[in-house]
């Protein structure tokens, strides 16, 4: 399997975001207990970083799959989507400007997928923070962390909608232009 750097980053980013929010929560909420935990397990900073980066890829990939389920599989009308996707593939393969259309289409669809996974990660972070506030503890700092996370969730969601609408418009215009020729 050939993994490109952008795929690794796309899959890692949601996991790293979630881990960073949790890491920040425990650092803010009870820094002494968190440092004590690290010392008890005798984990070096370099080892912890490598572990979190690796775990971030795995968690991010799972978050990406969850975002596909809720953002694509459940909500899309598959028959319409597959029909339009097939038409776009046909245009890309058969038209002289196909590579340019593919470049634009790939960029926009990649942005939609990445932002949907990031939005899912923000949602999971907010839900986890709420559970931690209820079952563990909260402080002014952790409430600020939640508010920052919530604002970034809204920004990510709006950006994802923008790119999705932009992609839909591009596909519609490409299909219309192709039917004229």
According to DSSP H, which parts of the chain are helical?
5-29, 31-40, 45-68, 78-94, 98-135, 140-180
**92 phi and psi angles, rounded to 5 deg:** -60, -40
Please give the Cα distance from 87 to 93 (Å, whole number).
10
Range(s) of the domain holding residue 150: 5-180
Torsional class of 44: left (φ above 0), alpha (ψ -120 to 50), beta (otherwise): beta
- Digit-by-digit pLDDT tens for the chain (181 residues) are 456 777 778 888 999 999 999 989 988 877 787 778 777 877 777 887 888 889 999 999 999 999 988 877 777 777 777 887 888 888 888 888 888 888 888 899 889 999 999 999 999 999 999 999 999 888 899 999 999 999 999 999 999 999 999 998 998 888 888 776 5
The pTM assigned to this predicted structure is: 0.85
Domain tally for the chain? Answer: 1
């Amino acid at each position: 399997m050939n993994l490109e750097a952008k795929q690794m980053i796309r899959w890692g980013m949601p996991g790293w975001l979630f881990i960073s929010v949790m890491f920040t929560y425990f650092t803010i909420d009870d820094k002494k207990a968190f440092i004590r935990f690290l010392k008890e397990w005798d984990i070096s900073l370099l080892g912890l970083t490598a572990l979190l980066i690796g775990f971030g890829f795995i968690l991010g990939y799972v978050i990406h799959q969850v975002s596909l389920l809720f953002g694509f599989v459940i909500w899309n009308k598959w028959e319409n989507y597959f029909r339009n996707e097939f038409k776009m593939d046909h245009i890309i393969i058969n038209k002289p400007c196909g590579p340019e259309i593919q470049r634009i289409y790939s960029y926009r669809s990649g942005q939609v997928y990445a932002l949907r996974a990031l939005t899912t990660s923000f949602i999971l972070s907010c839900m986890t923070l709420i559970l931690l506030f209820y079952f563990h503890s909260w402080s002014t700092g952790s409430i600020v962390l939640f508010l920052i996370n919530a604002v970034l969730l809204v920004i990510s969601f709006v950006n994802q909608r923008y790119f999705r609408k932009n992609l839909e418009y591009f596909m519609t215009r490409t299909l219309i232009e192709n039917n004229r020729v």
